[in-house]
Amino acid sequence: MKLAKTIVAALLVGTAALAHALAIKPYTPQALAQAEAGGQPLALHFRADWCPTCRAQDKVFQAMKSEKGLDLTILSVNYDTERDLKKRFRINSQSTLVVLKGRKEVARLVGDTSADDLRQALKSAL
């Protein structure tokens, strides 16, 4: 019984830790609408598979997934296919990161691969 309680406690702690970390998910209109309606911090990464700068940004974001204090979601947006979303956010280049707190844009970076700059932009929504 004691072992079972220990396992359950460890699972709960692990789940809580995951709930408070940077998450990277594919863009869906529903995910964006839900975050905006709830006033949640969110980033849109307009990226393309063929873009070397986007791939460099992806590596930086992956490395940040375990950092404390980055409790938000990045939605990975396909730059080549999401034309309406690009128009809505006035996106002119792949490798653009738009950081939102609810519906308000709080930061924007284009072509930046600096971990410090990307981290600072993400934290601006928290």
In a domain, 70, yes or no: yes
Range of the domain at 104: 22-123
Backbone angles phi, psi at 105, to 5 degrees: -75, 125
Lowest mean pLDDT among 36-40, 76-80, 115-119: 36-40
In a domain, 118, yes or no: yes
Rg (CA), the chain: 16
Confidence of residue 3 (pLDDT cuts 50, 70, 90): very low
pLDDT at 2: 55
pLDDT at 20: 64
CATH number at residue 47: 3.40.30.10
In a domain, 5, yes or no: no
In a domain, 16, yes or no: no
In a domain, 2, yes or no: no
Per-residue model confidence as pLDDT tens digits over 56-75:
999 999 999 989 989 999 99
Judge whether residue 93 has pLDDT over 90: yes
In a domain, 8, yes or no: no
Judge whether residue 9 has pLDDT over 90: no
Residue 121 belongs to what H/E stretch?
Answer: helix 115-123
In a domain, 94, yes or no: yes
Total domains in the fold of the chain: 1
Closest CA to 116 of 74, 70, 50: 70
Using the Cα atoms of residue 123, residue 114, residue 26 and residue 43 in order, give the sign of their dihedral.
positive
Strand partners, 23: 73
In a domain, 67, yes or no: yes
